[in-house]
Structures are given as C-alpha cells and as structure tokens.
Copies of this chain bind each other. A is one copy, B any other.
Amino acid sequence: MLAFDYRNCLSEAVKQHGVSPDDLAGALRRYPEVHKTVVLKARNPELPLGFIRLPFDREGLPDILALARRTRNRFDTFVVAGIGGSALGNLALQGALRDRYWNLRSLKERGGRPRLFVLDNIDPESMKSFLETVDLRRTMINVISKAGTTAECLAVFFVIWQKLQKAVGAKKARSHVVLTTDKEKGFLRELANEGFCEESFVIPRNVGGRFSVLSPVGLVSAACSGINVRALLDGAQEAAERFRVQDEAVSSEPSPAYLFAALNWLLYRQGKTMCVMMPYADALYGMADWFRQLWAESLGKEKDNAGNIVNVGPTPIKALGATDQHSQVQLYREGPNDKVVVFLSVEKYRAAVRIPPFKGHYLSGHTLNELIRAEERATRVALTRSQRPNMTIRFPRIDERSVGEFIFMMELATAYAGELFNINAFNQPGVELAKNYTYALLGRDGYQNYLEELNAFPE
C-alpha cells in the first residue's frame, strides 16, 4: 500500500509557505461533500466519470489476455499508434513494469513478449527511422483513438498499413491490426466492423482519454508485454474500495486521494502554481509524464462551473531524482517559492547493486540503493529547510499492485481537485481551435472558414 506523507507542506514545516492548520481543517471539512458529489456523478453513466468503475470492470479482460497469449512468440514488435491519453498510460506502464532496456533484449530474454514502440508523434524523421528499424512481418499495431478520428493516430496508421500490406500481403495484414475505439461510432469502429483487424476493443464512452489507462487503451499493450494486468486492476480496485468510491457517505477521515487534491488546491491558492512530480526511480518517470497530462488538461481551465472567467490551473512538471538534482534543484531551492514538489519514493528497489571497493573511496561498500535513498532524503530536507513545500508518495515496491493503486489515487484526486477548483475536470475545450486550424490547413471539408482567421496571423 502506498504511504502519503504531507508533513513537509504544512506551515509547521515550511512556515508561511505551507498550508495552515485552519486552511487544512477547512478543506478537510469539505471532504464528505466533495466525495459525495464525485460519487454521485460517477454513478451517472452519462457523465464522464467512468474511470471510477474501470478497476471493477473485468468483462473485457479475457479477450485481452487471450490476445496476449495468441501474440506471444508470434510478434517481435508491438506498436501503439495513439497520442495523449492513448499513449502516455501505455508508456507509463511499460516504463514502470518492464525492464529498462526491454527493447534491446532478445525475444527469448523477453519471454516471447514483443518490443513496444509508442508512436505518439508525426515526426517524419522518426517515422523513417522506425520503418527502417522494425520488421513489419513480425509487428502488430494497436491503433487507439476514442473518437476514431485523431489525425496524428490515423496518419501513423495509414503509413504503416501500406507498408504492412506490402510486407505480408493485403489479406494477412489485417491479422496484424488491433483497433481500440468507441463501441459504435467513428472511423476506426467502421473499420473494425468491416473486419479490418485481428481484434477490436472498446473504450467506454464515459471514460476520457487521460483517464483511460485502466481500460483496453492501456491494458492491451501491457498484457501483450507480459504485465500482469489483473494485478494492476486489483491494486486499483483495492484503492478504490479503500477510498470508498461506491459509498456516497463517508466519515470525515479523508483518503490520501482527497488529501492530495486538497493540499495541492490550497497550495495553488497560496501561489504555488507549479506541481513538480519527482520520482526517485527511472521506472516511474513515465508515470510523472502521464500525471502531467492528467493534471494539466483536467485542471487548466478558462471558466469555472458558473461560467466565470478564471484562467485557473496548476502547471505540472516532471523531474527525475537523483538526475535533476544536477539540473533543477538549484532553482527549486533558491528561485521563487512557487512550487510544490511531489516526491515519488521507493522503499525497496527490484534490484540491489553494491558499489565495489575502489582505492578506499568513501562510496565503497555502500549500494546504489543507499546512495539514491540518501540523495532523496537529503534533497527533501534541503528543500524543507528552504521552506519549499513538498510531499512524498511512497511505493513499498514498484509492481502491478502499487502502480494500479497510484494510478487510481491520482485519477480520483483529479476528480476531487476539479470540485475544489470548481471547474469541469473532464473536458478540454482549449484544444479544439488548433485542431480546427489544422483541419483547415489540410483541406478537410467543412473547415475552410478557419483559413481566413488563420491567415490573419503571420506565418
């Protein structure tokens, strides 16, 4: 079970830069009301809080596990074509739960599981390199787009599809394709209905992209990589139960998910406008990147729920310990006191590496484990001494259960934070305009009127 330590963001630890006892008490009093609001919204399948039910939803699991069994030893490479919420969770799970240099290992060392490539950009240089690097005859591609219309995702798919047909023939190419999309609507679902794929999976309509990692969006590539997705869901489910997401009435003892939301909200209001997530583990860096979308896109909003212009939202930042001590900590300690640092800490790493004797050096006889933990503790204390608020989420160990728990805790915290900020955490109106401009530039029907607007600006 994760532990959440927030002592270093209270005024007792960091004076006026921390949360005062009164402010904390005030926010905690709101826990039952905020929790109830979120739970009631989640009960309504028309509202986009479907993420809350994902840990309990095992209906699609057998098909996912069957695909993973079928593809084992058959494909050397698994490609995700997706972007944003259809990519960041996949990368985060892979980073956390597979070997650091997974893609450099042999198929045998990988236990017959494929390498994973997440093509979440449309850079032509990267695409060229990708096509030169992989053997499409042994490659499966999972195209992921909820609406089924995402330009980046489709462009990547069209490019690979043509090469795949050349490599294995038009008929067999379909057996290399998995589509993950809406149950009924959209371009990808139409393809699936035409039998264009080996298999298709459904993204529940009330689950938004950035909340979808525990749906087939994240689970399919994870299962094919040999990640124990059942344990991942178990970890999330236990957290969900402990956080009482099925109870509308909770006592006043707030869960870590609520505490995380409330403290970040209070700190934001005190001018800590940036939230730095800093894992002390390479494996969790992808989780910080996943959180970055979750937090930014959910809470960064122009209008509050009453329609007032508020232009609100903390800026999430990813950092990596110990590495970024040599890059960012100077700023974090001495620059403006405008951040809260969220350390992700690991009690027990999955490996232990001894530092051998070398000419009587003081590091000899220690382990890398001791060193990285010492650096984390040192940085935490140094920040606290400089009155920089910080908090720590401790993983007993990085494994499927703790990762599932973390994911669910952050997602629920985001929903709570949306209520505290009084904004809609589940839409993203701010990205539409650029999409429409892009359509206009590419000549998509119905978007010509945006061209004039666009051309009023210098290129």
Contact = CB atoms under 8 A, between A and B. Distances in A.
Interface of A: 5, 7, 83-85, 87-88, 99-101, 103-105, 109, 120-130, 132-133, 151-152, 154-155, 158-159, 161-162, 187, 209-210, 273-274, 280-283, 292-293, 296-297, 299-302, 311-313, 315, 317, 320, 322-323, 325-339, 349-356, 358, 361-364, 366-372, 374-375, 377-382, 384-386, 398, 428-431, 433-439, 441-445, 453-454, 457-459
Given A99-B129, A155-B371, A282-B123, A428 B330 contact: yes
The 5 closest A-B pairs by CB, nearest first: A84-B326, A300-B331, A378-B437, A300-B335, A313-B335
- Interface of chain A, main secondary structure: helix
B159 A353 contact: yes
A125 B351 contact: yes
Most buried by B among A355, A378, A380, A434: A434
Given A121-B282, A281-B123, A457 B381 contact: yes
B330 A296 contact: yes
A394 to B, nearest CB: 11
Most buried by B among A283, A315, A441: A315
A296 B331 contact: yes
A328 to B, nearest CB: 5
B151 A438 contact: no
B385 A301 contact: no
A122 to B, nearest CB: 5
A369 B159 CA distance: 13
Contacts of A130: 100-101
Contacts of A132: 101, 105, 109
Given A101-B132, A105-B133, 7 more contacts: A88-B327, A109-B132, A125-B282, A128-B350, A313-B335, A333-B430, A379-B434
Contacts of A336: 273, 311-313
22 contacts: A7-B458, A99-B129, A103-B104, A121-B322, A121-B323, A122-B371, A123-B349, A126-B282, A152-B326, A154-B358, A154-B363, A158-B363, A159-B353, A161-B358, A274-B315, A293-B327, A293-B328, A326-B431, A333-B433, A362-B444, A370-B442, A379-B434
Contacts of A458: 5, 7
A297 B132 CA distance: 39
Given A101-B133, A377-B441, A438-B374, A127 B355 contact: no
Contact of A152 (B187, B371, B381, B454): B371
Contacts of A100: 125-126, 129-130
B434 A329 contact: yes
B377 A159 contact: no
A366 B123 contact: no
Contacts of A352: 124
A225 to B, nearest CB: 15
A327 B368 contact: no
Contact of A300 (B300, B334, B435): B334
A244 to B, nearest CB: 28
A129 B398 CA distance: 15
Most buried by B among A100, A120, A326, A366: A326
A195 to B, nearest CB: 14
A444 B371 CA distance: 12
A459 B345 CA distance: 12
Nearest to A427: B330
B434 A325 contact: yes
A381 B430 contact: no
Contacts of A370: 441-442
A343 B451 CA distance: 21
